Amino acid sequence: MWIQNRFGLAKDHDGLYHFDYFKELLFHAALPGESWVAAVKLWFDDVIAVINRNLTELESGGRMNEFAKWGWFARQFRSALETQNPELLKSVGDSLDAISWPR
């Protein structure tokens, strides 16, 4: 447990560890300043679009190995967002409603 907390590692459902950077992504996606909220919203919208596009294209193209990796990323990203305070997400104009993929 100490290693997980000290080095930002998380144990995944398969028992393997990975760097848990997902929780930090959203709120460190833009430089601080007056345009931070707008920049984070733009980044969030771009990330959601990229993930949706890749999941759709890879699955329909039968590229299951790549699809599985993007599916893992999408689940981790959504899970990290779900742990955030909904009011905090709302304050930057983001919502889990924008995410169409399941957990």
Is the pLDDT reported for residue 26 higher than 80? no
The pLDDT value given to residue 55: 95
pLDDT of residue 79: 82
Task: For residue 49, tell me if it sits in a domain.
Answer: yes
**Number of domains observed in the structure of the chain:** 1
Q: Is residue 103 part of a domain?
A: no
In a domain, 63, yes or no: yes
At 2 the pLDDT is 43
Q: What is the CA 18 to chain-centroid distance, rounded?
A: 14
Has residue 84 been placed in a domain?
Answer: yes
19-41 mean pLDDT: 81
Mean pLDDT throughout 63-86? Answer: 87
Q: What is the pLDDT of residues 54-68, one digit of tens each?
A: 999 999 999 999 999
Q: Which residues contact 74 (CB under 8 A, 6 or more apart)?
A: 51, 55, 101
Look at residue 73 and tell me if it is in a domain.
Answer: yes
Quote the pTM value.
0.77
User: What domain range is 16 assigned to?
Assistant: 2-98
Q: Quick check: 78 and 98 in contact, CB under 8 A?
A: no
Rounded average pLDDT over 65-93: 84
Q: Which of 30, 12, 8, 31 is nearest to 73 (CA)?
A: 12
